[in-house]
Amino acid sequence: MMSDQMNRRTFLGRAAVGSAALTVGANSTARAASANDKIVVGVVGMSRGRRVAQTFANTDGFSIKYVCDADTERAEAGAEALGEITGQAPQIEHDFRRILDDPDVDAMVFALPVHWHAPAAILACQAGKHVYVEKPCAHNPAEGEMLVAAARANNRCVQMGNQRRSSLVIRAAMEKLHDGIIGRCYFARSWYAATRGSIGRGQEAPVPDHLDYDLWQGPAPRRPYRDNVIHYNWHWLWHWGAGELGNNGVHVLDLCRWGMDVDYPTRVGAAGGRYRFDDDQETPDTHVVTYDFQDGKTITWEGLSCNQPGAGGNNFGATFYGENGSLSVGSANYLVRDMEGEIMERDAGNVGDDEHAVNFRDAIRQDNPELLHSEIAGGYKSTLLSLLGNIAYRTGQSVQCGEQGRIMDNPEAQALWQREYEPGWAPKV
Ligand SMILES: NC(=O)c1ccc[n+]([C@@H]2O[C@H](COP(=O)([O-])OP(=O)(O)OC[C@H]3O[C@@H](n4cnc5c(N)ncnc54)[C@H](O)[C@@H]3O)[C@@H](O)[C@H]2O)c1
């Protein structure tokens, strides 16, 4: 254990919550859940996490013991909403590290600002918990690799929240692709569009009484509180977020990676900018990224955060192009065309939230991470695509990648492979 870490139990026993660094205690649980056992869960982050908690609560085999948020208003609202579904409100815990100390808890859900995902998930693995972590699973590639290592070292089931991996209709589309319905597939074009507004020009302001800003910042180096960042707008600032590419791009890039059966790119290029509004947003609202892979395969992504999707009318999707036709996937549907453009097949379903929870449950019950539809090694690879697209954008250079997607011969881009952490909060594996 590194010198800048102190024992989590020691800390939690004596310190005021919200003032301490990331720390790791002994592996507190490794309880294998039998088919009849409830999997006891703590859910952290009560916005997206509130939805995930409701899905888990409606899934046979889970019991939500805790909800947690650095914002007490959100924690209380989340607990109340869950109580209405289950008939019994979960306990509210302010600091998720206390939940890690509860040996009854089998699994954690993290739906947090991106800078928290990998550090929190690593701590949970080290405390013996299985983890459902929202996408993207990491703020930078180095901590993504650490998360995969932590999952392995502790033999935990770690699922990323790219739920379309469990969507029946998307799975059927991928099977058709892999079975050769459009022949050899060499290109996938993907996109996301939304009509987001401006985040304006913020200013320093007092921290609201209901927010523990120190805990919210956690592993990120400290910055003064500003009035246009929390909640949600952190997505658009590199210090905490990963832009639209890490937000919605990662969902569809994951489908492209899956459909094309590729892992790491050889070259990544990017264009675009913050074109639509002149405000505090650092990440691009118009972002075009290209990924080349070995064996003659290319993926592109177009992100339009502040505009309409265009002629197709579909704000989320990917089209795979093969020798004999194309296959398009939307958020929860697909459509196959032959080379004349005639529709050969189509189907629609749902995005897979429920099925993703069931898959997580079943992998835990069988104590087998290999059963996960989005096991973290794969989740990280798709996250890495989004992070590399951001690195190419931020440096204004194409990046060449080698083994495990590592950036080659480019010190400026390589410097973004990792981040600085608030002293004492760096994740360690
Ligand atoms: N899979 C999906 O379809 C999907 C959908 C929406 C969001 N997401 C992902 O979920 C994540 C969260 O997104 P969001 O829209 O909920 O963001 P948000 O900013 O609205 O909510 C994040 C919440 O986490 C809380 N938080 C921050 N630090 C905390 C800490 N240390 N302990 C406890 N709570 C803490 C915040 O107070 C806030 O309530 C993002 O990574 C996003 O990409 C996934």
| Rounded CA separation 114/317 (Å) | 23
Distance 356 CA to ligand 1 centre (A): 18
Residue 56 near residue 64 (C-beta atoms within 8 A): yes
Residue 46: CB within 6 Å of ligand 1? yes
Closest C-alpha to ligand 1, atom 10: 111
Architecture of domain 168-200+215-350+384-417: 2-Layer Sandwich (3.30)
Distance 48 CA to ligand 1 centre (A): 6
| Rounded CA separation 243/239 (Å) | 11
Residue 174: CB within 6 Å of ligand 1? no
Atom of ligand 1 nearest to the CA of 74: 39
Distance 247 CA to ligand 1 centre (A): 11
**Per-domain boundaries in the chain:** 8-165+355-374, 168-200+215-350+384-417
| Rounded CA separation 380/324 (Å) | 31
Q: How many CB atoms lie within 10 A of CB 114?
A: 24
**What was the pLDDT predicted at 21?**
61
Closest C-alpha to ligand 1, atom 21: 47
Closest C-alpha to ligand 1, atom 18: 232
Residue 254: CB within 6 Å of ligand 1? no
Distance 7 CA to ligand 1 centre (A): 27
Could you report the per-residue pLDDT of 165-223, keeping only the tens digit for each? 999 999 999 999 999 999 999 999 999 999 999 999 999 999 999 999 999 999 999 99
CATH pick for 8-165+355-374 out of 3.10.28.10, 3.30.160.100, 3.40.50.720, 3.40.190.10? 3.40.50.720
Residue 96: CB within 6 Å of ligand 1? yes
**What was the pLDDT predicted at 8?**
34
Residue 117 near residue 419 (C-beta atoms within 8 A): no
Residue 161: CB within 6 Å of ligand 1? yes
Atom of ligand 1 nearest to the CA of 46: 39
Distance 44 CA to ligand 1 centre (A): 8
**Type of residue at 211:** L
Could you report the per-residue pLDDT of 248-282, keeping only the tens digit for each? 999 999 999 999 999 999 999 999 999 999 999 99
Q: Which residues of the chain fall short of a pLDDT of 50? A: 1-19, 24-26, 28-30
| Rounded CA separation 269/250 (Å) | 16
Phi then psi dihedrals of residue 356, to 5 deg: -70, -40
Residue 69: CB within 6 Å of ligand 1? yes
Residue 215: CB within 6 Å of ligand 1? yes
DSSP track, 51-114: HHHHHHHTSTTEEEEEEE-SBHHHHHHHHHHHHHHHSSPPEE-SSHHHHHT-TT--EEEE---H
**What was the pLDDT predicted at 9?**
31
Residue 133: CB within 6 Å of ligand 1? no
CA distance readout (Å), 171 to 56, 80, 109, 128, 276: 21, 35, 24, 31, 36
Place of tokens 């609560």: 57
Q: Which residues make Cβ contacts (< 8 Å) with residue 32, sequence separation at least 6?
A: 367
**What was the pLDDT predicted at 22?**
61
Atom of ligand 1 nearest to the CA of 230: 19
Closest C-alpha to ligand 1, atom 15: 48
Atom of ligand 1 nearest to the CA of 50: 16
Residue 74: CB within 6 Å of ligand 1? yes
**What was the pLDDT predicted at 313?**
84
CA distance readout (Å), 160 to 131, 194, 217, 375: 8, 23, 22, 7
